Amino acid sequence: MTRPPLLWEQHCCLPLTPQADVSQLARYARPGGAFVSVNVGYAPHSADDVRAITRSWRARLATDARFTPVSSVGDVERAAQRDAIAVAFDLEDSGPLEGDLELVQEFHDAGVRTLLPTYNNRNAAGGGCLDAVDEGLTAYGRELVAQMNRVGMVVDGSHCGRRTGLELSEATTRPMVYSHSCLQSVWEHPRNISDEQVRACAATGGVVGITGVGIFLGPNDASLQALLRHLERALDLVGPEHVGVSTDYPFDVDDFNAELTTNPHLFPECYTGWGPIEFITPEELLTLEGALRGRGYPEETVRAVLGGNFRRIAQDGWVRAGQDAAVTATRRFAPRP
């Protein structure tokens, strides 16, 4: 009997403290197993903050049979065989590197497999999606991309500005991703990416992960139907080998929305204009497989979108340059018209 496809959740968020309840990730449990990438820091966090979080979380995940902290794709596959949840980490900004590119290797060793150079606003690496003008990837940003390519950390354009995202596609020698991004051609929002960015990402061999945030999907429409509208547009643009899913679900959603309500001046109107932000939950994500089958997608497309495409990126991108792997580093995909 064929096993159910692997579910690959490329980005979600626990409270960013060492004491966060990692057991909440069990909400992704399903037949066929799941992989989950969890954010361990962004712009406000220091290197020591990231060290404390990754050390605590990995230690507690390792003692719980429901989870497998992963270092390799082989770890993901072994977890899937026992219907467990494989867990790795991501960083939503290069700020925690504190300008030291050697920390890319240290954080990789701690389980970080994906990194965004910028988070919403310009920093030392490049421009953010909320900047009035995006001046593009900096010289430091290009050095960062090269170091990530060498070490085996996937380049992520989510939260970057349009020009910076396009220049990431040009700079990387390995497939990149937009781990959690929706499409401007479906819903106009500063955090969403252009069709040009989608195609440029696919041309690297990369994957766009459609995210489950209501204000990015539509007018605070955190429904599976809204997610499918963005997903189907991406499929039309670049085909089933370059599309995945990633909810960006915050397990502290009530606290997040309370902060939004209490301090609206800290957030742009494009975030606050619809009241408390709605999110697709892990439980709702688990219904996506049935929804894709219900729409008549073939088996290979269902498996690719649910997890196969991001698994391919991991197979290519998690190892050091020069190590044996099915690396598509120099393979470029022709974008669709």
Whether residue 167 contacts residue 139, with contact meaning beta carbons closer than 8 Å, is answered with: no
**Crossing angle for the helix pair 309-317 and 73-81, to the nearest 10 degrees:** 140
Extract the tokens encoding 305.
């979108």
Q: Considering the domain boundaries, does residue 134 fall inside one?
A: no
Radius of gyration of the chain (CA): 18
Q: Considering the domain boundaries, does residue 22 fall inside one?
A: no
pLDDT at 228 over 80: yes
What pTM was estimated for this model as a whole?
Answer: 0.94
Q: Considering the domain boundaries, does residue 253 fall inside one?
A: yes
Q: Considering the domain boundaries, does residue 169 fall inside one?
A: no
pLDDT reported for residue 259? 83
Whether residue 28 contacts residue 286, with contact meaning beta carbons closer than 8 Å, is answered with: yes
pLDDT reported for residue 4? 92
On the CB side of 46, CA atoms within 13 Å amount to 3
pLDDT in tens, 230-251: 999 999 999 999 999 999 999 9
pLDDT reported for residue 2? 82
- DSSP-assigned beta bridge partners for residue 90: 39, 114
Could you list the residue range(s) of the whole structural domain that residue 297 is in?
183-317
**3 state DSSP class of 84:** coil
Q: Considering the domain boundaries, does residue 4 fall inside one?
A: no
Q: Supply the DSSP symbol for 17.
A: S
Tokens 């605590």 sit at which residue? 56
Rounded Cα–Cα distance for residues 175 and 201 (Å): 8
Q: Name the domain count of the chain.
A: 1
Q: Work out the end-to-end distance of the chain between its first and last CA atoms, rounded to an integer number of angstroms.
A: 39
pLDDT at 137 over 50: yes
Lowest mean pLDDT among 64-68, 80-84, 127-131, 333-337: 333-337
Mean pLDDT within 217-225: 97
Q: Considering the domain boundaries, does residue 243 fall inside one?
A: yes
Q: Considering the domain boundaries, does residue 213 fall inside one?
A: yes
Q: Considering the domain boundaries, does residue 203 fall inside one?
A: yes
pLDDT reported for residue 328? 44
Rounded Cα–Cα distance for residues 77 and 197 (Å): 31
Mean pLDDT within 61-72: 97
Whether residue 198 contacts residue 183, with contact meaning beta carbons closer than 8 Å, is answered with: yes
pLDDT reported for residue 80? 96
pLDDT reported for residue 265? 78
pLDDT in tens, 25-49: 999 999 999 999 999 999 999 999 9
Rounded Cα–Cα distance for residues 255 and 15 (Å): 9
Sequence-ordered strand ranges (E) for the chain? 7-12, 34-39, 67-69, 85-91, 112-115, 154-155, 177-178, 207-210, 243-245
Residues 6+ apart with CB under 8 A from 314: 73, 76, 113, 154
The CATH number given to whatever domain includes residue 191 is: 3.20.20.140
Residues 6+ apart with CB under 8 A from 324: none
pLDDT at 325 over 70: no
pLDDT reported for residue 1? 62
Q: Tell me, rounded to whole angstroms, the distance of Cα 74 from its chain centroid.
A: 20
User: β-strands 207-210, 177-178: how paired?
Assistant: parallel
Rounded Cα–Cα distance for residues 147 and 166 (Å): 18
